[in-house]
Structure 1
Amino acid sequence: MAIKVVKNLVSQEKYSLKCPNPMVPEYITIHNTANDASAKNEISYMKNNTSSTSYHFAVDDKQVIQGLPLNRNAWHTGDGKEGPGNRKSIGVEICYSKSGGAKYYAAEKLAIKFVAQLLKERGWGIDRIRKHQDWNGKYCPHRILDEGRWDEVKVAIAAELSKIGGKSSASSGSSSGSGTTYTVKKGDTLSGIAKAEGVSVANLQKWNNIKDPNKITVGQKLKLQGSSSSTSKPTSSKKSSYSLPSGVFKVTSPMRKGSEVKKIQQALAALYFYPDKGAKNNGIDGVYGPKTANAVKRFQSVNGLTADGIYGPKTKAKIEEKLK
């Protein structure tokens, strides 16, 4: 039985912010939300805030909700305005990723079935799947990566795809149903393979011990990802790494600026609530403006606080608690 998708689409008035470009998708990108909001709350928040960050679907333990039409791009992979992740991939957020547990694993299970359904509908194979990290290096989907289960998740998607009668792989040249290798064909170049597979030439060289990018041979099998043990993890987010300011911070005119604001932004980024994806330094600019207030509001909304976007003693205490 096909998985029902509940549509709660962003208004056309917000297309210029959330999904400004027409899109013919070529990939599916998997994310972990890094908080404990439901799919309904994730999509509602995405639709109604003033940040450009956007994604097509949110999946929780009970349902799949769509927030953007599939013929429009989303800003979800941080690889720039023209990057293939942002411009050519469908974004799928798996909910309840912060705390994990039964609700998260139920959400992940439903997401696996849903992604397989998306693949079948398009006649795609598992080689069209990407993790957020593949596009811009961000450590996402963080829970799956932390648990060393990215390959396991892809195998599960492949098994579900086979179960519902989909293709094991598309015609992109991948020789493996898991999408982890590529067999070089006549006329291939390393840069062309990198572009088609959504990875960098530098990574292909590193993963395959290639010193000269112009020297690849027909029939050669290339690894399309590094080992899970070599996957870089984010810097430590221990409380000792951050010295949060006291006092009350909110959007004012003129907007408050300085190193204290930057500390708040950095702490929120460590908890995956602030970056401004695609912006320089993740948007950490030391300005307490609408972007920072929105990040604070989202943090508050999933942590039992009054979601007013104002940083004060209670929000400071809760951030410090989550950073421990």
Structure 2
Amino acid sequence: MAIKVVKNLVSKSKYGLKCPNPMKAEYITIHNTANDASAANEISYMKNNSSSTSFHFAVDDKQVIQGIPTNRNAWHAGDGTNGTGNRKSIGVEICYSKSGGARYKAAEKLAIKFVAQLLKERGWGVERVRKHQDWNGKYCPHRILSEGRWNQVKAAIEKELKAFGGKANIFSSSSSGSTYTVKKGDTLSEIAKAEGVRVANLQRWNNIKDPNKITVGQKLKVKGSSFSSTKPNNKKNFYELPSSVFAVTSPMRKGSDVKQIQKALAALYFYPDKGAKNNGIDGVYGPKTADAVRRFQLMHGLSADGIYGPKTRAKIEALFK
């Protein structure tokens, strides 16, 4: 039975703020809310506030409510004005994410079915599903990630999609779950996202020097570290963090201390990873680093000022212990 969607769409007078661009969606992005509000409250607040932040659907334990038309973009992915997440993906917020419990579990279950329904309607496979983290590094959907269940959630979506009669995941691994056979049109980046691993890891595990050179029929090892966990697997990944305070200044501060901050944030998936060498770590405390610090602070209950100081250092170090 199809899931009924209750429409409570933003006023067209607010399109310029909330959803200014026509959109032909290519992905679905899953979020966890940062509070325990219902879908009705989430959509009402999103529609009526003066912030540009917006999303298409909110799902709680009882219903799905739509706030933005799916043929308009929404500002939910944090990857910029022209970012793929913001401009080409449908944003789905799972409610009651802060405290979890029975209401959250029911909301997540309904969201899984609803995302499968969206995929079926569009003739898509589960490879079109993304987490917020994929677009800008933010630790979201935070509850799913902190519980290490991203791959489990994707598998549940695929199971529901198959029940709907939808297409199979073109990025499914072999039955062993440790290899993937390259198909026509695949890119290493898309395979990495679908498998929840880094492009750099795929290159290392498969001795690939040029990420643009993979061949149809090639079997890739895909087993290894995923985005699902905040904590490194062992203390060898610990970074000696500086005790100094860092903020964006003019001229911008540079040095090995800043690199250590960037490396630690990259290990926790907050520092942008665009596939560049060393994750784009440049040792410069500029807007990019400050934004990564700000997002880290926001997700860990700190004052989100983008300034690296004692409290931020302590919170980062605690995640590596």
- TM-score bracket relative to the smaller structure: 0.5 to 0.7
SS in 2 for 1:116: helix
The count of corresponding residues between Structure 1 and Structure 2 is: 240
Q: For residues 7 and 223 of structure 1, do their structure 2 counterparts lie closer, same or farther at Cα, with a shift above 3 Å needed?
A: farther
- Tell me, yes or no, if structure 1 residue 163 matches structure 2 residue 160: no
CA deviation string 1:70-128 (max 9, x = no partner): 00001111111111111111000000000000000000000011111111111111111
1:204 aligns with 2:202: no
For 2:28, the aligned partner's letter is: I
Deviation (angstroms), 1:163: 1.1
For 1:73, the aligned partner's letter is: N
Residues 216 and 272 of structure 1: is their aligned pair in 2 closer, same or farther, counting only changes over 3 Å?
farther
Judge conservation of contact 1:158–1:177 (CA < 8 Å) in 2. no
How do 1:220-235 and structure 2 match up within 5 A? 220-222=218-220, 227-228=225-226, 231-232=229-230
* Structural mapping, 1:35-74, within 5 Å: 35-74=35-74
Amino acid at match of 2:76: H
CA contact (8 A) 2:22 2:72 kept: yes
- What is the TM-score with the length of structure 1 in the denominator? 0.65
Give yes or no for the alignment of 1:133 onto 2:152. no
- Counterpart position of 2:114: 114
Task: Describe the shift of the 1:271–1:86 C-alpha distance in structure 2 as closer, same or farther (beyond 3 A).
Answer: same
- 8 Å CA contact 2:146–2:229 kept in 1: the answer is no
Structure 1 residues 54-63 or 218-227, which shifts more? 218-227
In structure 2, relative to structure 1, the CA distance for the partners of 1:225 and 1:39 (3 Å cut) is farther
1:2-81 to 2 correspondences below 5 Å:
2-81=2-81
Separation in structure 1 between the aligned mates of residue 74 and residue 193 of structure 2, nearest angstrom: 16
Residues 147-203 of structure 1 show CA distances to partners (whole Å, capped at 9, x for unaligned) of 11111111111111111211113xxx5344999986435676x5xx5379869xx93
Amino acid of the residue matched to residue 6 of structure 2? Answer: V
Q: What's the RMSD between the two structures over aligned residues?
A: 3.3
Match of 1:216 in 2: 214
Cα separation, 2, equivalents of 1:187 and 1:8: 38
Does the C-alpha gap of structure 1 residues 53 and 21 become closer, same or farther in structure 2, counting only changes over 3 Å? same
**For residue 15 of structure 1, what is the amino acid of its counterpart?**
Y
**Where do 1:158-307 residues align within 5 Å?**
158-169=158-169, 174-176=171-173, 183-185=181-183, 190=187, 193-194=188-189, 203-209=198-204, 210-222=208-220, 227-228=225-226, 231-232=229-230, 269-270=298-299, 284=305
User: Structure 2 vs 1, CA of residues 59 and 165 (structure 1 numbering), >3 Å: closer, same or farther?
Assistant: same
Distance between the aligned counterparts of 1:204 and 1:267, measured in 2?
Answer: 23
1:222 CA drift (Å): 4.8
Structure 2 residue ranges without an equivalent (≥5): 233-293, 308-321
TM-score between both structures, scaled by the size of structure 2: 0.65
Q: Distance in 2 between matches of 1:228 and 1:29?
A: 18
Aligned residue for 2:83?
83
Q: How has the CA–CA distance of structure 1 residues 230 and 8 changed in structure 2, closer, same or farther, with 3 Å as cutoff?
A: closer
Judge conservation of contact 1:132–1:141 (CA < 8 Å) in 2: yes
Tell me if structure 2 keeps the 8 A contact 1:124–1:167: yes
Identity %: 71
CA distance in 2, matches of 1:134, 1:266: 14
Mark the runs of 5 or more structure 1 residues left unpaired by the alignment. Answer: 235-264, 276-283, 287-324
User: How many angstroms apart in 2 are the aligned matches of 1:225 and 1:5?
Assistant: 37
Distance 2:51 2:87 in 1: 17
1:274, CA displacement in angstroms?
A: 9.1
